[in-house]
Amino acid sequence: MVATHEGSRFRSLCRWLMVIFYFAAGVLHLLSPEPFLAITPPWVPQQEFIIAFTGVAEILGAIGLLIPRFRRAAGIGLALYALCVWPANFYHAFAGISVGGETLTWGYHGPRLLAQPLVIVWALWVGGVFDGRAK
């Protein structure tokens, strides 16, 4: 079934939201890595490099979503990225890490941890990996 015009418009809007989100996050990774370093689990090697690398990956993924030829690969890449950074979110939640002098509550951590699978599906959907309908 071909997507309706409104459905494709909605997907385009959701794609742009993801582009803005990931592009901004990527820039923050590069310009202000300290908060990201604070929540990086200690077992991650070369943490400064990893934070910079993930920032570049977010920016490239965001740009890729805008280019039809690369959209599918960008969606898959951003979904895998969201899966790979999920352990940092768990570490942040369970280790009680203070970022910028503030320790966040489960009112923040709970929804963030639960939302990560939705971010993964969102990236795959806006990347055109699937159309969002059950077969």
Predicted local distance difference test score (pLDDT) of residue 32: 97
In a domain, 131, yes or no: no
100 phi and psi angles, rounded to 5 deg: 65, 30
Contacts of 95 (CB under 8 A, 6+ apart): none
Q: What is the DSSP string of 102-120?
A: EE--HHHHHHHHHHHHHHH
In a domain, 99, yes or no: yes
In a domain, 54, yes or no: yes
Predicted local distance difference test score (pLDDT) of residue 29: 97
Domain extent for 54: 5-126
In a domain, 133, yes or no: no
Kindly report, residue by residue over 66-122, the tens digit of the pLDDT: 999 999 999 999 999 999 999 999 998 999 888 778 888 888 889 999 999 999 999
- Residue 4 zone, left/alpha/beta (φ > 0; ψ -120 to 50; rest): beta
Q: Domains in the chain: how many in total?
A: 1
In a domain, 135, yes or no: no
In a domain, 132, yes or no: no
Predicted local distance difference test score (pLDDT) of residue 97: 84
In a domain, 46, yes or no: yes
More confident residue, 134 or 59: 59
Residue listed under structure tokens 């890490």: 97
In a domain, 69, yes or no: yes
Residue 5 pLDDT greater than 70, yes or no: no
